[in-house]
Structure 1
Amino acid sequence: MTRDSQTQAKPMTAANATLGAQLHAVQSSAHGITLDITASSDTWPLSATINWGDGKSTPVSVASTAKVTQTHVYDRLGAYTISVTLTDGSGNTATGSLNLPTAGNAYTAYGPTRLLDTRDGTGAPRAKVPAYGTAKIKIAGNGSIPAGVTAVVLNVTVTNPTTEGHVTVYGDGDTMPTTSNLNYVPGQTVPNLVIAPVGANGYVDLYNGGWGSVDLIADVTGYFTQSQASGYTPVDPKRLLDTRNRNTVAAYGTVPVTIPTNPQVPDTTFTAVALNVTVTNPGSDGHLTVYPSGQSLPTASNVNFTAGHTVANSVIVPVGADGRIQIQNGAWKPSDVIVDVVGYYTANSKSAYIPENPYRVLDTRKNGVPLYEYNATYGGYDYAPIDFALGDPNVTGVVLNATVTNTHGDGHLSVSPDPNTRAAYEGKYATMPPVPDSSSLNWTAGQTVPNMVQANTGSTGLVDFWNVAYSKTDLIVDEFGFYSKN
C-alpha cells in the first residue's frame, strides 16, 4: 500500500541524439521502488539494462515509445543510484541515472536523554510556552543524533498548565496537523509518547493549543532514518510485570524487568522494546523512569502520576546488554507497576516505519455511537474493530494516538489484533474476540486521557479497541504512521 511517494526524473543523453529516455521512479513500499522508462529512438527494438544500485540488475526489452515499468525490492533500506543503459540495434548506447531513497525508516535506540525542559532552560529559554505558542527542539545534530533523521521518538510531558488545552508535535516547517498528541486541564501533569516527523531543518515543533501558558518537557528514546538499522516486530500484548502479585516498588526504589526470549519475543538480538507501562495504587505524587539496565538513572521520566490514580503510558526503551530494563519509582511512597510488551526492534526485522500526515480514523463523538458499558446480555464489553491494513499483507503494525473522553466512570482501553476479517463483519458471521488482559490507557470518571498505541495488525489487518468499563465512553483514534515489511 503506497501512502507516501516521491518522484524524480532525469533525461538521458547519447552520441545519437534521438536515443534517450525519461526516467521516473516512485517509492512504492517501505523497501520497494517502481521505475518507469519512456524511451525515444529512430530504430526499434531497444535493449535496456537497469542497475538498481545494490549489485542487482534487470534486462528489459523496449519495443516502442510506450512506457516500460519495472519494480524492485531492496534487501536493505538506504539511498540508491539507479542507472539505465539503452542500446539500439547498431550498438549506439545512452545512459541515465537518478537517486532515490527507500521510503521505509529504521529505528536506532538512543538515550533516554532530556532535550527540552522549559522549567530550567534545557533546549529552550527558561520560560513557560505562552498560549498558542511553540517550543522548538533541535533533533538532527543534537548529541550524536545524525543529520538526515526523519522521525524521532519523544516522551512529551506538559506540566504547570493554567487552563485546559492540548499539545501538537510536528516537523518544523511542516503544516501543523489538526490532530493532537496530548490533552491537559489546569494543574495537571500529562505525559505521552510521540513518534514525530522531523522537519527538513532538523527541528520539531511543540505547539501549545491552550489559552494559558504551560511548561513542556521532552525526552528522546530513539530516532528513525532512511538507512539500515532496526526494524519493528509487533506482538500480541504480553504482561511482563505486575507488582500487585508481589511486592510493590518502594519509594525511590527500582525494579528490574527481564525481556523474555520466548515465542513472544523470539529474537535475542533486540535493541529496544515497545511497552505499555502502568502505575497503580501510588501512595503519593511522583513519576516512573524506564531505562536500560547497566545505565545510570537518567533525568528523563515516562509516567507522571498523582496519589491514588492509575496512569498508563507507552514507552520505547533501549534494552541493556543483560537483556533487562529498569523501572524507578520516583515518589516518596510505594507504587504498583504493570508492564506489557507490545513489540520489539531488531536488525533482523525488515518491518520499517512509514510516517504519514496525521489524520483522524475514528471519532465516536461525531458518529454518535460511543463505546458502551459492560452488558452481560449482549456478551460482555463493547469494542470497535478498525481495518488499518486495507488489504495490504505487508502492513505489520500501525502507530496511533487513542484518546478517551466523555468518560462516565473508571475504566481502561485495551487494544489487540482481531482474528476476524473485514468480510466476516460485513457478512455478519464474525465471532466475538477474546478480551485482552492488557491495557493501553486508564481513566477515571470525567477524565480525557490520550496515549500513543503501537497496534499489531495481526493476520487480518483489523485492530480492536475495547472499552473495559461499566460505563460508556467516547473514543478518538488518530493515525500517525505504519510499519511495512516490504
Structure 2
Amino acid sequence: MSRRLAPSALVLTLVSSAALAVPANAATATDLYVAQRSMSCLDTGPGTQNQPFCTVQAAADVALPGQTVHVDAGDYAPVTITRSGSPGTPITFVSVKQLLGAPVQTAVGFTSDGYQAPHAFTVTGSHDIVISTFDTVGTAGAFVIDNSSRVTVDSNYVSVGHGLETAPTAGVSLTNGSSAVTISRNLITGWGATGVSVGQGVTDSTVTTNLIRGNYGPGVVATDAPGTVVSSNTVFGNCVAGISLGGATTGATVENNIVGSNDATVSNEPNCKVHRSPSSAEIVVAAGSTDGTVVDYNLTHPLSGGSAYSWGGVGYKTSADFHSASGQGVHEMTADPKFAASATLALAEGSPAIDSGDPTAPGELPTDLNHAPRVDDPLAANASAGFADRGASELQDPFQLKQFDVSPTQGPSPLPVTLKAEVDDPWSTQPSYTFEFGDGSAPVTTGSLAVQHTYEHASDSSYETEVTVNLPAGVTRHAANLVKVTTPAPPVAKLTVRQVGPLTVDVDARDSTDPWAITEYDYDHGDGSPVIKSPNGTDDYTYATPGTYTITMTMRDGGGNATTTSRQVTVGGAYVPAGPQRLLDTRDGSGPVGPGGQTSVQVTGTYGVPTTGVTAVVLNVTATGPTADSFLSVYPSGGANPGTSNVNFGAGQTVPNLVTVPVGPDGKVVIANHSGSVDVVVDLQGYYQASPAARTGNFLTTVQPRRVMDTRDGTGGVPQAPVHGTQVLNVMGLGSAVVLNVTVTNASTDSFLTVSPDGVPTPTASNLNYRAGQTTSNLVIVPVPMSGKIDVTNHFGSADVIADVEGSFDEWYATQTPSTAFMPLAPSRLLDTRDHATPVGPNGTLGLSVAGVGSVPAYAKSVVLNVTVVNPTASSFLTVFPSGDRPSTSNLNFGAGQITQGQVIVPIGPDGKVDFYNLAGTVDVVADVFGYFA
C-alpha cells in the first residue's frame, strides 16, 4: 500500500490554534514542542523548543489543560489521546507548518516502517481537545473520537492511501456516546465507507464547513445520533448519498450545504459500484429521523436521473417536490452550484449559492473552509437580513490588485515619481490605498489610485515602495516595487563588438551607464537594414556579405535622453583547416607547366570545401624540377595575372611556399609559370569561409613571435638532436590551429618535412622540401588535436628543425584576446627595394607603411604578405614584425645569392607599419599583399 496519498488539488489555508473556535486561555497556556527531525529531541525530555519531544504521543501523555502542542514537519506515528482539557482551556494539537497555499507537511498516522497505521488520532474518554492542521491517514480511518466530548477536529487534510479506497472505513468516526464534537473546515476525501460517520448514541455533534468529496460511500452518515448538525459543507462527488440521517437521528439540522453529484445508482465511477445502493439521494432522512429534523437552505444538484431528496423513504427529484410533500425545505433549491474550478469547488460569481444561505444556521462559522470571512456580494440578492453563502467556501471580493507601477523606476535626485495601482474592482468596493515610499517619509492613505512623491537624496541601494489596499472586513492586498535614485551624471554609451561567426557579430552595450533607467538600445548595423531595438543591450546580427561596417548604437533612457556611440567592424572569412590534401601534382601525367604557361586547380567542392561562401584558400605550393630560374604566380581564376610572385626558384631546385589566395567565381585558382618548364605540386591546407549560413570557423589571434622548437638546443622540450622520422611537439593552449614559421637546416640528404596533427596517419603531402645542407623555411598552419600535440616528420635522413609560433586560429568563444576575420585581396605589390636601389643593409631595418596603403584599409590589424629576398650578399635571415620591438625569431633564412620567399602573417604596428630586419650583408626585399585581418 502507498505511504502517502497525493494531496487533492484543493489546498486548505492553515491557521494557528489561536484562530480556532475554541480559544486557549492566554494567562495559563504553555507550549509543548514535537520535532522528530531535531537532533536534540527526547521523548523523556521537557518538550521545549530546545529539546522537543520526538513523538506526538509523548506530548499527548503529559499535556495539561490550556497547553498547545506544536508539531514540526515530519511523518509521525499514530496518537491516542486520553488526557483532557477544561472548558475554555482545551489541550490543542497544532502543526507548526501553517502554510498558506501549500499542502500540509506534518503527517500523522504512519508506522515505524513508513506504512499507514490503522488511525492517525484516537481520542478516547477525553474532553476539551482541539486537533488542527495535520495531514492524516489511516487504514481504518484517520480520526476516531470515542466516548469523548467537546472535541474539535479543524482544518486537517483527511485522506486515505491508494489501494485502500474500497476498504469499508470512514475518514472520521464519532462513536460510543461522544457528544458536542465539532468536525470543521477539513478536506475529507477518498474513504471507502464514508467521509464522516456519526455513530449510535452520539449526541449534539456538528459537521460544518468541510469539503467532503470523492469518498466511495456517502459523504456524511449519522445513525441513531440525535441533535446532529450538518451545516455549510460542500458534499460533492461521493458514491452514495451526500448526507444521510439514519435510524433515530432526531432533532437534527441539515442547512446551508451544497450537496451534489453523489449517488452510485447513476454514477459512472467504476469504484462506486462497490458500494452501490438500491435507493439513495443527495440528502437522505430515514423515517425514524424525521421527528424534529430541519432540512433547509441547502442546494442540491443530483446527477441526471438521480434524486435530490429522500424523506421518510420517499424520493423527490427537486426541492419543489420535496417542499410540497414534506413541508420542509422552504429555502431549498435544486440547481447547478456553478463552481469556479473543479479542483477547489469554490463558487463562481453568479452561483445561486451566493448570499442565499442562513447566517443564523446552527453550526455556521464566522469564516469559511479557508478561514476567509463571510462577505456580502453586492451583485447577489440576500436571502435574509444577513448574508452567508451555501457550502464550505465563501465567495470573496474578487478585487484584484493587478499591477503596481513606479514611474520612472530610476533617475537622478531630486527625482519626482508617480506611484500607481491598477485594480480590478467588479464589486465597486472603493477601498483606500496606503502608499509607502521607503525613504523615511510618512505613508499616504488616500482613495486615489495614484500619488506623487519626490526623492530628494540619492541612495546606493533602491528604495522599496509599497501599496496596501484596505478592503472591508480587514482584508488587504499588497504589492511592492523598487525605485533607484542616483547621483546626477551624464549618460555614457559603451559598445563592444565581437565576431562570433564568419558574418555574425555579437554587440553588447550593457557596460553603458546612465543615471536614468535605460529603456531601449537601438542598433543600426550599417548595411541599410532596419534598426533593431534591443531591450537588454545585446544583439546577434548576421550580415549578408563580407565587408567593413559601422555599427551605431543609440541608448534611450527614462529621462528622454538619447546617447549614441559607434564601432567599426569587419566581417569576413573564418579559417577552417582542411588538409593537408593533395589537389595537384603535374608529375602524375598532366605534365610540367611551360614558359608563360598556366594551370588551374579546382578548390571548392573538393575534400569537404563548400561550393559557396569560400573567400580564400590556403595552399602549400611546391615547384620541382624547373629547367630555368623562374617564379610561380598564384591568383584567382577569372582575373589577369597580377605580376606578383609566390614561389621563386633556380634551375633544378625544389622550393615550397605557403600561399593564401582568393578563389575565382568558379572556385578555382590559377598557377602561372614565368620561364622554362616546372612541375607543380599543390596541397590544400585550409580555407576561409564567409557565408550567412556558416556558424563555425576559426579566427586569427596574433601573438608576439616566440620559438617553440629548436632541435639544435632542445627548445620546446624536444631532444637536442636532428629529426630522423617523427618528432612530437606539444603546442597545447595555442588554439585549434597554430601558425608556425618552420625552418629546416643541416639536412643530411634531400628530403621533405610534413607537419600534421598527432594521432592520425602522416599524410603524404609536404610543407617544406629541401636539399642536403640547404636552410629553408615556410609558414605552416596546422590543426591542433585535443591532445595538444603535433607531429614534425622528416622523411629521409636527418635535419634540424626550428619552429616559431606566429599566431593561432580558434573558435570565437575560445579566444582570450581580440580575434580577427580574414579579407582576401587581389594580389598586389607593396614593396620592391630594387626599384630604388635601396637594399636592406647588415643589421638594418626597413619600415613599410601598410595600413591605408593600396587595398589595405587603415583599420587592418594584420596583413598576409608573400616576402621574397633577392640578391643577398651573405648568408642571413629576415625577420618581419610590427613596428616596435623586434622578436628574436626569423621568417626567412637564406644563403648568399639565394632567392628565398615565404608567406608571412604579421600584425601591423601602431604607426601603420611593418618592419623588415636583415642580419648580415645586404639584401633586396619584395613584398606582395594577399589579404588582411580586421
TM-score normalised by length of structure 1: 0.72
Q: Is the contact made by 2:635 and 2:827 (CA closer than 8 Å) also made in structure 1?
A: no
Match of 1:481 in 2: 931
The answer to whether structure 1 residue 195 and structure 2 residue 195 are counterparts is no
Query: 2:705 corresponds to which letter in structure 1?
Result: P
Q: How does 1:220-299 map to 2 (within 5 A)?
A: 220-227=684-691, 228=695, 229-246=697-714, 247-251=720-724, 253-261=725-733, 265=734, 270-299=735-764
Q: Is the contact made by 1:167 and 1:180 (CA closer than 8 Å) also made in structure 2?
A: yes
Q: Is the contact made by 2:635 and 2:826 (CA closer than 8 Å) also made in structure 1?
A: no
The answer to whether structure 1 residue 354 and structure 2 residue 354 are counterparts is no
Percent identity over paired residues: 40
Report the alpha carbon displacement of residue 174 of structure 1 after superposing the two structures with TM: 1.7
Report the alpha carbon displacement of residue 50 of structure 1 after superposing the two structures with TM: 9.3
Q: Is the contact made by 2:865 and 2:930 (CA closer than 8 Å) also made in structure 1?
A: yes
Report the alpha carbon displacement of residue 158 of structure 1 after superposing the two structures with TM: 0.3
- C-alpha separation in 2, matches of 1:364 and 1:74: 46
Q: Is the contact made by 1:293 and 1:321 (CA closer than 8 Å) also made in structure 2?
A: no
Tell me the SS of whatever aligns to 1:245. coil
Query: 2:931 corresponds to which letter in structure 1?
Result: G
Report the alpha carbon displacement of residue 457 of structure 1 after superposing the two structures with TM: 1.7
More divergent stretch after superposition (402-411 vs 451-460): 451-460
Report the alpha carbon displacement of residue 395 of structure 1 after superposing the two structures with TM: 2.2
The one of 418, 428, 445 equivalent to 2:883 is 418
Q: How does 1:355-370 map to 2 (within 5 A)?
A: 355-370=824-839
Report the alpha carbon displacement of residue 250 of structure 1 after superposing the two structures with TM: 3.9
The answer to whether structure 1 residue 217 and structure 2 residue 667 are counterparts is no
- C-alpha separation in 2, matches of 1:339 and 1:366: 33
The one of 588, 595, 603 equivalent to 1:139 is 603
Report the alpha carbon displacement of residue 458 of structure 1 after superposing the two structures with TM: 4.3
- C-alpha separation in 2, matches of 1:78 and 1:234: 27
| Cα displacement string for residues 151-207 of structure 1 (whole angstroms, at most 9, x for unaligned residues) | 100000000000111101111112221111111111000100000111101111111
Match of 1:397 in 2: 862
| Cα displacement string for residues 203-241 of structure 1 (whole angstroms, at most 9, x for unaligned residues) | 11111111x211000111100111342111111111100
Gap runs ≥5 in structure 2: 1-501, 506-521, 534-538, 547-569, 715-719
The one of 772, 781, 785 equivalent to 1:320 is 785
Match of 2:846 in 1: 384
Tell me the SS of whatever aligns to 1:141. coil
The answer to whether structure 1 residue 155 and structure 2 residue 620 are counterparts is yes
Query: 1:240 corresponds to which letter in structure 2?
Result: V
| Cα displacement string for residues 218-270 of structure 1 (whole angstroms, at most 9, x for unaligned residues) | 1111001113421111111111000001332443x111111143xxx4xxxx2
| Cα displacement string for residues 338-362 of structure 1 (whole angstroms, at most 9, x for unaligned residues) | 0001011111164111111222111
Query: 2:729 corresponds to which letter in structure 1?
Result: V
The answer to whether structure 1 residue 437 and structure 2 residue 909 are counterparts is no
Relative distance call for 1:53 and 1:339 in structure 2 (3 A) is: same
Query: 2:744 corresponds to which letter in structure 1?
Result: V
Q: How does 1:123-138 map to 2 (within 5 A)?
A: 125=590, 127-138=591-602
- C-alpha separation in 1, matches of 2:917 and 2:523: 50
Report the alpha carbon displacement of residue 370 of structure 1 after superposing the two structures with TM: 0.9
Query: 1:110 corresponds to which letter in structure 2?
Result: A
- C-alpha separation in 1, matches of 2:726 and 2:788: 16
Tell me the SS of whatever aligns to 1:366. helix
Report the alpha carbon displacement of residue 78 of structure 1 after superposing the two structures with TM: 5.3
Relative distance call for 1:295 and 1:459 in structure 2 (3 A) is: farther
Q: Is the contact made by 2:706 and 2:887 (CA closer than 8 Å) also made in structure 1?
A: no
Report the alpha carbon displacement of residue 128 of structure 1 after superposing the two structures with TM: 1.3
Relative distance call for 1:337 and 1:147 in structure 2 (3 A) is: same
Tell me the SS of whatever aligns to 1:162. coil
Q: Is the contact made by 2:584 and 2:601 (CA closer than 8 Å) also made in structure 1?
A: yes
Report the alpha carbon displacement of residue 438 of structure 1 after superposing the two structures with TM: 0.7
Q: Is the contact made by 2:753 and 2:767 (CA closer than 8 Å) also made in structure 1?
A: yes
- C-alpha separation in 2, matches of 1:437 and 1:239: 8
Tell me the SS of whatever aligns to 1:221. strand
Relative distance call for 1:131 and 1:436 in structure 2 (3 A) is: same
Q: Is the contact made by 2:624 and 2:653 (CA closer than 8 Å) also made in structure 1?
A: yes
The one of 585, 588, 599 equivalent to 1:120 is 588
- C-alpha separation in 2, matches of 1:214 and 1:220: 19
The answer to whether structure 1 residue 451 and structure 2 residue 913 are counterparts is no
- C-alpha separation in 1, matches of 2:642 and 2:729: 37
- C-alpha separation in 2, matches of 1:300 and 1:59: 49
Q: Is the contact made by 2:747 and 2:771 (CA closer than 8 Å) also made in structure 1?
A: yes
| Cα displacement string for residues 105-152 of structure 1 (whole angstroms, at most 9, x for unaligned residues) | 11111111111111124xxx2x11222111211111112111122210
Match of 1:423 in 2: none
Tell me the SS of whatever aligns to 1:188. coil
Give the structure with higher Rg (CA): 2
Match of 1:377 in 2: none
Report the alpha carbon displacement of residue 328 of structure 1 after superposing the two structures with TM: 0.1
Structure with the bigger RCO (C-alpha within 8 Å, sep 6+) is 1
- C-alpha separation in 2, matches of 1:224 and 1:286: 30
| Cα displacement string for residues 439-460 of structure 1 (whole angstroms, at most 9, x for unaligned residues) | 1011111111111111122444
Tell me the SS of whatever aligns to 1:472. coil
Tell me the SS of whatever aligns to 1:177. coil
Tell me the SS of whatever aligns to 1:335. strand
Q: CA RMSD in A?
A: 2.8
Gap runs ≥5 in structure 1: 1-29, 34-48, 61-72, 81-101, 374-380, 420-432
| Cα displacement string for residues 85-121 of structure 1 (whole angstroms, at most 9, x for unaligned residues) | xxxxxxxxxxxxxxxxx85111111111111111124
| Cα displacement string for residues 269-302 of structure 1 (whole angstroms, at most 9, x for unaligned residues) | x221111000011111111101111221101101
Tell me the SS of whatever aligns to 2:712. helix
Relative distance call for 1:356 and 1:79 in structure 2 (3 A) is: closer
The one of 804, 817, 840 equivalent to 1:340 is 804
Q: Is the contact made by 2:865 and 2:927 (CA closer than 8 Å) also made in structure 1?
A: yes
Tell me the SS of whatever aligns to 2:599. strand
Q: Is the contact made by 1:415 and 1:436 (CA closer than 8 Å) also made in structure 2?
A: no
Report the alpha carbon displacement of residue 388 of structure 1 after superposing the two structures with TM: 2.1
Query: 2:583 corresponds to which letter in structure 1?
Result: L
- C-alpha separation in 2, matches of 1:189 and 1:384: 29
Runs (4+) of structure 1 moved beyond 6 Å? 30-33, 49-54
Q: Is the contact made by 2:709 and 2:802 (CA closer than 8 Å) also made in structure 1?
A: yes
Structure with the higher strand share, 1 or 2: 1
Match of 1:25 in 2: none
More divergent stretch after superposition (389-398 vs 299-308): 389-398
- C-alpha separation in 1, matches of 2:647 and 2:858: 31
Relative distance call for 1:366 and 1:79 in structure 2 (3 A) is: closer
Relative distance call for 1:389 and 1:76 in structure 2 (3 A) is: farther
Query: 2:929 corresponds to which letter in structure 1?
Result: E
- C-alpha separation in 1, matches of 2:747 and 2:679: 24
